[in-house]
Amino acid sequence: MASHIVGYPRMGPKRELKFALESFWDKKTSAEDLQKVAADLRSSIWKQMSDAGIKYIPSNTFSYYDQVLDATSMLGAVPPRYGWNGGEIGFDTYFSMARGNASVPAMEMTKWFDTNYHFIVPELGPDVNFSYASHKAVDEYKEAKALGVNTVPVLIGPVSYLLLSKPAKGVEKTFSLLSLLPKILPIYKEVISELKAAGASWIQFDEPTLVLDLDSHKLQAFTAAYDDLESTLSGLNVLIETYFADLTAEAYKTLIGLKGVTAYGLDLVRGAQTLDLVKSNFPKGKYLFAGVVDGRNIWANDLAASFSTLKELEAVVGKENLVVSTSCSLLHTAVDLVNETKLDDEIKSWLAFAAQKVVEVNALAKALAGQKDEAFFSANAAAQASRKSSPRVTNEAVQKAAAALKGSDHRRATNVSARLDAQQKKLNLPILPTTTIGSFPQTLELRRVRREFKANKISEDDYIKAIKEEIKKVVDLQEELDIDVLVHGEPEVSVPSHRNDMVEYFGEQLSGFAFTVNGWVQSYGSRCVKPPIIYGDVSRPKPMTVFWSSTAQSMTARPMKGMLTGPVTILNWSFVRNDQPRFETCYQIALAIKDEVEDLEKAGINVIQIDEAALREGLPLRKSEHAFYLKWAVHSFRITNCGVQDTTQIHTHMCYSNFNDIIHSIIDMDADVITIENSRSDEKLLSVFREGVKYGAGIGPGVYDIHSPRIPSTEEIADRINKMLAVLETNILWVNPDCGLKTRKYAEVKPALNNMVAAAKLLRTQLASAK
């Protein structure tokens, strides 16, 4: 019985790739240094899987930034602004597309399906001259082969690549991206031919868009693509891999009808209903790569249950044609539980990171082959039983409080227009008020202080003193820049990464959460996050942010935002317990945040931001499931602030997703002000307002991209604000960056914010003179 891994984490067990990338970007190390770190990581991954007994080991799942960007490079689909003149794409062009450079912005970045991973969105049009411009897939196959490992090269499938793309700037939005299929397939044929010549016997095409709601035209594109590729694929075993959800009956019929395809990879964790399709109709002689080991969560597999499922499938597809696999790439989970030295033994026994999941896959494959490791299965069963019965998991008071939420929609008593009037009387803000999203740069000195405090090298008093000094610097800087609504900069938040740092910060202070030391997961590029683990019922033992927020407010007469992370984002950016519905866990978190909001208000904080950056990413991939998710997600947000006074202004923040399709749910959240990503997605958000959606609350579409080191000019920002004023009322528009500033340097932040404030003042003057 064979085993397969869809893909594997790239960063390394101690984030080796992250540090190598950042050192290279800072020009501290050479391209050769970066390439050596990458080669060592790939070699280690292939050896680990080979040693574990995995038969079908993937290659070309490693990436210096993103696998979709790798496909864009392979196809030579470089937007003209990067000045690429052909030939093999090098690091300069590759990283300019990913991160931008001093003269041009980066390509758009958005969430990969409903995960917290981000991909770089291809920009395509009828005039793109595709060419074979990156030989990475072939090079990595050869590299593994030279190490004695015959891998399965993995490519983003041609149809999914196009469906995940967008029309380039200047191209009609109605342009059919699938019309480019005849232009990209010749490149795929070149790659396939080179892989065959190099000795590959299998090839894996990831076609995850097959799980989406696709019309017949889009499904037909899959048929057309693989019809065209059939002769080139002759002599290869071809695996089409899908993941993240069930296939519709129509998509399944399309999949099993594709020509030249040997095997089908199905997610049987998030796509459990696909089992029925397999049982009712599976093509004779084909392989089923059964994704029974969860690639997106960190819970140990229930081996007995998976074994039972596999035995059912074995009766359908045949013993020799069943391959045990992960549900998707292990990119979305942490690397190795061995590196966790601070988790207690009980919780640790409930978990499996990527390295452990590789072992689980092989253990299931061996068991099906009659070589069951009884001791391994027995230990797994004991851990499953321990988790079900542990008193740490259940809190009856929390469950009772969450159950009592049913029957109310938890709306604030007054409509948003009246609330904004009451808030303006209290806050007295100018038109186009300026603010930032929350965090400020994390200096080396600040990181040193936090590190020494955690290591007990400095006292709590010394730590508090140092954090207060940092807050004072941030407050003084904002006053010097003349920003209207201030933030304290989040210096007490200890993880220098993406917005998930706040999720960890709150999780550390809530019951029902556990934390890792090295449980890092790639979010985008070199950015890694360390999701908390929600293992039990959630409650707030004591206030979490009140001390720091009130300390910061005491330093200024200007409004100081209290900074919280919303329940849906905490849920979606954590590894969530899988023993109860997600919405039940979310309601528990909402009640904990509600307690914190009301304590902040009592402490004199008049503006409270409750980030829901990840609300959109949790949207199910199937439209039929949207309404239920949005109902409980939006309800959870309203629970957090339903008890505050009209004069308390509730902000929320969202970033790096396509929000246009849920704009009515965003309105239904009933926040007073929403700040939202806008600049990197080519102001896509504004189109929804051009199409007539009325938004009466405050709104701050981001005026510049904080994920790029590029500093926008005053004129550029003013131009963006003018575009917003064309579709939004002056009295509701806010001016702010796209996201928090933690990942940037002060040398970038100060001039960018200075230009942002200058642009707001310029527009205020122009608006006043136009009256």
Q: What is the DSSP annotation of 483-506?
A: -SBB--B-TT----SSTHHHHHHH
Q: What are 245's two structure tokens?
A: 């959800």
Position 66 scores a pLDDT of 96
CA distances in angstroms from 97 to 35, 90, 100, 509, listed in the order given: 19, 11, 6, 39
- Summarize pLDDT for 72-88 with one digit per residue, the tens: 999 999 999 999 999 99
Phi/psi at 202 (5° precision)? -125, 155
Residue 707 has pLDDT above 90, yes or no: no
d(CA 493, CA 140): 39
In the chain, % of residues over pLDDT 90: 84
CB atoms within 10 A of CB 607: 27
CA distances in angstroms from 75 to 78, 87, 183, 216, 561, listed in the order given: 8, 11, 10, 26, 46
Counting DSSP H helices and E strands in the chain, the numbers are: 27, 22
Residue 175 has pLDDT above 90, yes or no: yes
Rounded mean pLDDT, 608-621: 91
Q: By three-state DSSP, how is residue 564 classified?
A: strand
CA distances in angstroms from 425 to 151, 430, 671, 676, listed in the order given: 66, 11, 18, 25
Residue 682 has pLDDT above 90, yes or no: no
| E strand segments, 552-697 | 561-565, 575-576, 607-611, 649-654, 673-676
Topology annotation, domain 406-441+483-489+559-770? TIM Barrel (3.20.20)
Position 747 scores a pLDDT of 94
Sheet holding 649-654: strands in order across?
561-565, 607-611, 649-654, 673-676, 698-701
Position 495 scores a pLDDT of 43
- Summarize pLDDT for 739-769 with one digit per residue, the tens: 889 888 999 999 999 999 999 999 999 999 9
In the chain, % of residues over pLDDT 70: 97
Q: Which residues participate in the annotated binding site for Zn(2+)?
A: 653, 655, 664, 668, 677, 739
Nearest to 1 by CA among 238, 445, 228, 318: 318
Catalytic positions, written as ranges: 707
d(CA 655, CA 108): 12
Which distant-in-sequence residues (6+ apart) come within 8 Å of 672 by Cβ?
A: 416, 419, 420, 423, 649, 650, 651, 697, 698
Residue 27 has pLDDT above 90, yes or no: yes
Position 492 scores a pLDDT of 79
In the numeric block, the tokens 């003193």 are attached to: 465
In the numeric block, the tokens 């200024």 are attached to: 556
Nearest to 306 by CA among 361, 378, 242, 348: 361
Of the listed ranges 200-204, 282-286, 303-307, 525-529, the one predicted with least confidence: 525-529
- Residues of the chain within CATH 3.20.20.210 domain(s) are 2-60+135-389, 406-441+483-489+559-770
Grade residue 329 by pLDDT with cuts at 50, 70 and 90: very high
Residue 498 has pLDDT above 50, yes or no: no
Dihedral angle at the C-alpha atoms of 253, 257, 262, 267, nearest 10 degrees?
Answer: -20
In the numeric block, the tokens 């902040």 are attached to: 600
CA distances in angstroms from 339 to 43, 53, 352, 453, listed in the order given: 19, 22, 12, 22
- Summarize pLDDT for 403-414 with one digit per residue, the tens: 999 878 899 999
Q: By three-state DSSP, how is residue 310 classified?
A: helix
Which distant-in-sequence residues (6+ apart) come within 8 Å of 234 by Cβ?
A: 260
Amino acid (1-letter code) at residue 543: P
- Summarize pLDDT for 359-413 with one digit per residue, the tens: 999 999 999 999 999 999 999 999 999 999 999 999 999 999 999 998 788 999 9
Grade residue 662 by pLDDT with cuts at 50, 70 and 90: confident
Cα first-last separation, the chain: 77
- Summarize pLDDT for 176-218 with one digit per residue, the tens: 999 999 999 999 999 999 999 999 999 999 999 999 999 999 9
Position 670 scores a pLDDT of 95
3-state secondary structure 79-142: CHHHCCCCCCCCHHHHHHHHHCCCCCCCCCEEECCCCCCEEECCEECCCCCCCCCCCHHHHHHH
335 near 17, Cβ under 8 Å? no
Nearest to 540 by CA among 597, 495, 584: 597
- Summarize pLDDT for 432-447 with one digit per residue, the tens: 999 999 899 988 888 8
Identify the H or E element spanning 521. strand 521-524
For residue 590, how far is the Cα from the chain centroid? 21
Domain 2-60+135-389 sits in CATH 3.20.190.10? no
118: which strand partners? Answer: 111
Rounded mean pLDDT, 537-556: 96
Position 272 scores a pLDDT of 82
d(CA 263, CA 291): 13
Of the listed ranges 64-78, 325-339, 515-529, 598-612, the one predicted with least confidence: 515-529
Residue 497 has pLDDT above 50, yes or no: no
564: which strand partners? Answer: 610
Grade residue 684 by pLDDT with cuts at 50, 70 and 90: low
- Summarize pLDDT for 223-276 with one digit per residue, the tens: 999 999 999 999 999 999 999 999 999 999 999 999 999 999 999 999 888 999
449 near 457, Cβ under 8 Å? no
Residue 452 has pLDDT above 60, yes or no: yes
Residue 33 has pLDDT above 60, yes or no: yes
Phi/psi at 730 (5° precision)? -60, -40
Nearest to 156 by CA among 71, 280, 231: 71
Q: Which residues participate in the annotated binding site for 5-methyltetrahydropteroyltri-L-glutamate?
A: 18, 116, 527-528, 573
Position 708 scores a pLDDT of 82
539 near 511, Cβ under 8 Å? yes
124 near 108, Cβ under 8 Å? no
656 near 120, Cβ under 8 Å? no
Mean pLDDT of the chain: 94
3-state secondary structure 425-438: HHHCCCCCCEECCC
In the numeric block, the tokens 């019965």 are attached to: 389
CA distances in angstroms from 519 to 46, 137, 660, listed in the order given: 20, 28, 33
Q: Which residues participate in the annotated binding site for L-methionine?
A: 437-439, 490, 611
Position 496 scores a pLDDT of 39
487 near 560, Cβ under 8 Å? yes
Position 451 scores a pLDDT of 86
Residue 63 has pLDDT above 70, yes or no: yes
